[in-house]
Amino acid sequence: EADIYQTPRYLVIGTGKKITLECSQTMGHDKMYWYQQDPGMELHLIHYSYGVNSTEKGDLSSESTVSRIRTEHFPLTLESARPSHTSQYLCASRPSGSYEQYFGPGTRLTVT
Question: In the set 78, 106, 107, 109, which binds other proteins (CB under 8 A)?
Answer: 106
Whether residue 91 contacts residue 74, with contact meaning beta carbons closer than 8 Å, is answered with: yes
Neighbours of 91 (CB within 10 A): 26
Give, as ranges, the residues between 64 and 93 that touch other proteins (CB under 8 A). 90
* Core vs surface per residue 40-58: b (16+ CB within 10 A) or e: eeebbbbbbbeeeeebeeb
Q: Is 100 in the site for other proteins (CB under 8 A)?
A: yes
Give, as ranges, the residues between 20 and 39 that touch other proteins (CB under 8 A). 31, 33, 35
Return residues touching other proteins (CB under 8 A): 31, 33, 35, 40-45, 48, 50, 58-59, 90, 99-101, 103-106
